[in-house]
A and B are shown apart, each in its own frame.
Chain A
Amino acid sequence: MSQLVELPRHMCALGGQQTVAAIERAIPILHAGPGCGYKLHTGMGACNGFQGGGYSGGAAIVSTNSGEREVVFGGEDRLRSVIDGALKVMDGDLFVVLSGCTSELVGDDTAHVVSDFQLGGVPIVYAATGGFRGNNMVGHEIVVNAIIDQILEPCEQIPGLVNVWSSVPYHDTFWAGNLAAIRELLAGLGLKPNVLFGPNSGGLEAWRKVPAAQFNLVLSSWTGVSIARNLNERFGTPWLHYSTLPIGGLETSRFLWTVAEFAGVNASVVRNFVKTQERSFHYFFERAADFFLEFRWDLPARFVTIADSYYGIGISRLLTNEFGLLPSHQFVTDDPPEEFRSGILADYSRISPSISADATFTSDIEKVREILRSDTSTPPIILGSGWDRDIAREIGGCHLSIAAPMTDRLVTSCSYVGYNGGLRLIEDLYSSILTAVQ
């Protein structure tokens, strides 16, 4: 999708800076223009649930702030000086240098500058994330693969250890909560999840254990697949690709059984864990059912997701298969590579055995507006980004922000993954509707 985009939801590859900022005690160093770091922090963090800069993100991000001199004469000396300063000033365990448009277009040999520091034993990595190389999902993969290629060494396998490649930090507004929820689910199966991003994820030490994993779990339609392939090639680690975010009772149980089978977890362990979790989920489901049944006459019967592929399908399955809603047209915004598109469309075509949805790949809100305006069915619930509030209002629909960017929500540890995540999504969705109608 290289056409124009009105009100973009995805940033550029340099957005990989947020991936670095999500690793405990990792320090992003940009070899880029003066505004890049702050703009990307704004688009992916600050104006996306008011996620702040945290320890090393936001205003603390190191940057060469390349100017006219670097553009005309090259910026390698400047980069060397800034890395040198960063190693003295910034208190970190891992340093990741990310190149932006300016340094790449003028042809700086950033890899060479960084390799000099690597030879000196510094834990530093170089990622080629020039903004024109792709969106921030691609940037996330570039950064992770750079760390894998430049830092990790083979080590002895730790049985049960599983690396999780799922939510893209910061871009998924709920990444920290979601990863914590995935960790809890996997731990419930007796596995040792290595989520690598967010609080208590272990920083560089946890990253050094990545080659020791029993397997890699890619919990996403496509983001993370190149990471798992890379790890498979370098360390021979097998990987499980589960393309839908598990949200709610049915999907989470299905997810747990799939993972358990792949990992060789004893069936009685799975059965006990799933049973306890489902009992709790259905306790609340039963009590909320009064509301759904009583208010159904006036609540929207249809929904639209405008979201990343793995999110949209997860939400669609929850609302269709557990809460009796019907999917209207669905929009996939994360520009999946060609090889994954037919699989994503197939997922939408069989949300349930009898219910399917049409889906369109687009990042441009005009396409969303055109299709929603021409839809003559009853006004839907729209689960999208903050940008989608206007079209929701125009067609008389309800709206909840669940995707970047959003300035109408404050998000901390909220998660939409798992049994509790499903309940939380329902709470947030219907609370917003109840607020709007009174």
Chain B
Amino acid sequence: MNGNVQLKSQVDVKPGSLRGPGVAIRERRLGSITGYQGTAEELVRISLNGAVRERERSFTQVGTCSSFCATLQLSLIQDAVVINHAPAGCAGDFPLFNLYNRYGQVKRRLEVSNARLITTNLNERDTIFGAVQKMLTAIREAHRRFHPRAIFVTASCASGIIGEDLESALEQAEKELGIPIASVNCEGFRSQVWATGWDAAYNAILHKIVKPATVKRPELINIITFIGDDYFSELLRPLGLIPNLVVPFTKIEQLERLSESGATAQMCSTLGTFLGAGLEQDFGVPEIKSPPPYGLEGTDTWLRELARVTNKDEIVEAFIAAERQAIQPELDELRQRFAGVKAFVAAGPAHGHSLMSVLQDLGIGLSGGCMFHHDPKLDHGDPAGDTLQPLAKRHGKMPYSVCNKQFYELVNLLRKLKPDVVLARHPSLILSSAKLGIPTFFVDDEHLGLGYRGLLRYGRKIGDWLRNPSIERNLSRFTRLPYTHWWLEQNPYSFVEEEA
């Protein structure tokens, strides 16, 4: 079959509108890459003049795929069902999303119950004869079991390669059942930038769920985020605004009305770039095109932009001044405590930059950063929203790399940079650096460092952890990394190939 496989699932986006039956992958839409090695200022420079080129690795460890990211967002919608059109192994992430679901329901005082997740369980026969009927059966069965307000059908490598024509089957099912049924084109092989999965999920929501506004609720601000606690209220309510955290833990009706809100902002602009831009372009909801509110300057800028868009200019300055004053005494103490400490950050791009801002304001130095991918631009196209630029202004020469979770590379690099603490925004990343004996902080609640008070919350946490890194000490004493001595002595970027 080599050489003549047709990818029927690939649909191009219509010009003029972001949303449509399929979403173009980030590599094509934004020029995103997963390989780079250099400095932050150099990456800003080549991003601005369109000179960013992918550099692949000739040796790789496991990554993540679009299907994981798409399902994470969709599976936490409380009255929808996700059907994964795939062999059963692709559902390996279901228990993780169910953990997020139940944990989040407890925190939010919602009724605790399992996420509604189904696999079509494709087998060998299905890969030969097709499985559209099986998918239709799954849709009808999902409807019978749950009476959901919407069904999302997520594609897989297998369904994509065998060329399942989901669209026409889904149209038929939609007519039959009278609820939105969306296909989500998140086949794992299509993109090495797993953030493409967020776009696929949001595209399904924009295309099938969001309705044009009949009323406007200017005080409501859409916040595109993951599963963190609601620290956004601290920043919004004093301005008379109400956060509308999406997509996890929403119901379909709440998503239908995203168009009514006064603005859309993001906890992480690489997460919500597609949804934010889509809501502005197709539904007229203005997007806050500033880096998310982390760190002092970042929060100032974001609040001012939010105030400008929502006509709150008159009260915002007083709020900023009061908050800055309120946190100053403890912030000074924390800065003294962290004097001389250097950190390394490994995370998705925009949030990684936010974490670095938080660390800088806590007086923690940066020995380097590694981001899982790089978007040279965002969907709204405005460079003012770029999170790397403000970082590059302060730490332009900092070693900076783009690497999609390649632990062998990261471990090699960390051994050479020797940071005092590592912050990692991916659960599986932490063991590698902890085995080096470096205190390693897993960034779980992405909202913890938000705004002015987030600096203090973060500082207290890091302070506690740095006081007793016995887990890391014991790991480095009693366990081994799975890498050869030869490798650990090489240049960390030895397997990064020249530009394609």
Residues of A within 8 A of B (CB): 1-8, 10-15, 27, 30, 33-44, 46-48, 52-53, 55-56, 58-68, 70-74, 81-82, 84-86, 88-92, 100-102, 105-108, 130-136, 363, 366, 386-387, 389-390, 405-407
Contacts and interface: CB of A to CB of B under 8 A. Distances in A.
Contacts of A63: 60-63
Contacts of B88: 5, 8, 10-12, 131, 135
Contacts of B67: 35, 39
B188 A131 contact: no
A53 B428 contact: yes
Given A71-B161, A131-B89, A4 B59 contact: no
Contact of B62 (A13, A30, A389): A30
Contacts of B113: 390
Contact of B427 (A1, A46, A48, A389): A46
B89 A14 contact: yes
Interface in B83-99: 83, 86-96, 98-99
Given A4-B119, A59-B407, A106-B2, A34 B484 contact: no
Given A33-B65, A35-B188, A105-B127, 10 more contacts: A3-B134, A7-B98, A12-B90, A41-B62, A41-B428, A43-B92, A55-B479, A71-B157, A74-B2, A386-B95
Contacts of B314: none
Interface of B: 1-3, 5, 7, 58-68, 83, 86-96, 98-99, 102, 113-114, 116-127, 134, 137-138, 141, 145, 156-158, 161-162, 188-192, 194, 404-405, 407-408, 427-429, 431-432, 479-487, 495
Contacts, number: 275
A64 B188 CA distance: 13
A29 to B, nearest CB: 10
Given A38-B63, A64-B60, A12 B87 contact: yes
Given A7-B94, A12-B89, A88-B487, A59 B124 contact: no
16 contacts: A4-B138, A7-B114, A27-B482, A34-B63, A35-B66, A38-B64, A39-B89, A42-B92, A55-B482, A66-B189, A82-B60, A88-B59, A90-B482, A131-B158, A387-B98, A406-B95
Given A5-B121, A136-B89, A91 B483 contact: yes
Contact of A59 (B119, B125, B432): B432
Nearest to A386: B95
A363 B88 CA distance: 11
Contacts of B158: 101-102, 105, 131-132
A68 B407 CA distance: 23
Contacts of A12: 87-90
A61 B482 CA distance: 10
A146 to B, nearest CB: 18
Contacts of B119: 4-5, 8
Nearest to B123: A2
Given A90-B483, A131-B90, A46 B96 contact: yes
Nearest to A100: B157
B40 to A, nearest CB: 25
A48 B126 contact: no
B95 A36 contact: no
A62 B89 contact: no
B121 A2 contact: yes
A406 B408 CA distance: 29
Contacts of B495: 85, 89
Contacts of B1: 105-107
